[in-house]
Amino acid sequence: MYLLGAYLHDDALPDPISPLKKLARGPKLHWRDSVPHVRKEACRVIGSSSARHLIVLASPLVHGAHEEQARQQALMTLVTILACDYDVGRLVLEHRQRKQDDKDQATVAIARQSGMISTRFSLQHAYGDEEPHLWVPDQVLGAYGDARTGKTTNWNLLAASVRLETMQPTR
Give one DSSP letter per residue of 102-169, joined into a string.
HHHHHHHHHHHHTTSS-TT-EEEEE-TTT-GGGHHHHHHHHHHHHHHTT--HHHHTTGGGEEEEEE--
Average confidence (pLDDT) over 125-138:
97
Domain of 16? 2-167
Look up the CATH number of the domain holding residue 150.
3.30.420
Supply the pLDDT for residue 63: 74
Q: What global pTM score does this model have?
A: 0.95
Q: Indicate whether 64 pLDDT > 80.
A: no
Q: In this predicted structure, what is the pLDDT of residue 46?
A: 98
- The pLDDT, as a whole number, for residue 16 is 94
Confidence at 39, pLDDT banded by 50, 70, 90: very high
User: How many percent of the chain have pLDDT more than 70?
Assistant: 99
The total domain count for the chain is 1
